Amino acid sequence: TAADGWAGEANLDVQWAYAIAPKAHIVLVAVQPAETQGVQGLPNMMNAEQYIVDHHQATVITQSFGTTEEAFNGTQSLLNLRHAFVSAAANGVTVLASTGDGGSANAGLTPVKNPTTFPFPTVNWPASDPLVTAVGGTYLCTDPVTGSGVDSVDPPSNCQTNPGEREIGWIDSGGGFSHIFAKPSYQNTLPNPSTPIGSMRGIPDVAFQASSRTAPLVYATFDGGGGWFLVGGTSCSSPEFSGLVAIADQIAGHGLG
C-alpha cells in the first residue's frame, strides 16, 4: 500500500541519517495523506516543516520525496508551498531533497495510473527550489584489500561484475534545469562544463551514495511485511547527506542554513 511504501521510506531516512550521525537527535514527521503528486498531500507536508522551523526542532531537514515541476496546477500552486523553505533559510535550517532516480525523465500528473513521462527534460521539486540543497546520487566502490574508496557517478571498472556491466535497479541520478526558478547567485561561480549552466537553476548541488548495488541495509517493520531490505536511489543519498550536515552543525555550534 501507499502507507507501507512511505513507512519503508521513513525507516530508510531515520536509520541512515542516524548511521552517518549516530549522536544526532532525529525527529520523524508524518502527515496525511500519502501523496506527493500535484498538491494533494504537499500542503500538509510543508506545514509540518514550517512547524519544525518555527519551533526550532531541527537544524537540518531531509526530504526523500518529490514531484515533477509540471505536475502542479500552474506555477503559483508550487510557489504557494515554499513558505517553509523561506523560513528555514531565515533561521539557519538546512533543507535537503532527493533529486529523483530518472535522470531528466519524470512522470506526468498521475504516475501510478499513467506512468507516461513528459516529452521534454524535467526536474523534481522540492529539489529544484533554490532554497533547497538538491542531493543527487553516486556509486560507492570500496577496495576490499586497501579499504580505499571511489565515489563516482558511474561504476568504476573494478566494481563491475562483468565487463561493460552497468547499474541494476538504479538508473540515473535526477538532474537538469528548472523551468520555474532562475539560477541562484551561488551557482554563478560554477565553472562552465561542456553544457553551460544557462540562466535557470541547475540540480543536483551535491551527491552521495545512491547505488542499489552498494545499497544500505534497512530494517523495516510495517503492516504487510518487514525484515531487512537493500535500498537504492537518491532516497538514500538525502538522509545520508543530512547526517553530514548534522555533524557540521555540531562542529559549528549552530545551524548552517
The pLDDT tens digits of the residues spanning 84-137 come to 999 999 999 999 999 998 888 887 655 555 568 888 999 999 999 999 999 999
**pLDDT category, 210, cuts 50, 70, 90?**
confident
pLDDT tens per residue across span 21-56:
999 999 999 888 776 655 578 899 999 999 999 999
Q: Which of 73-77, 200-204, 228-232 has the lowest mean pLDDT?
A: 228-232
- At how many degrees (to 10) do helices 234-252 and 2-20 cross? 40
Q: Which residue type is seen at 146?
A: T
Answering whether pTM is above 0.95, one says no
pLDDT of 168 > 50? The answer is no
Residue 128's closest CA among 193, 190, 73, 63? 63
Q: Which three cell numbers stand for residue 248?
A: 557540521
pLDDT of 219 > 50? The answer is yes
Residue 153: what pLDDT?
A: 54
Residue 11's closest CA among 236, 218, 243? 218
Residue 198's closest CA among 218, 219, 178, 212? 178
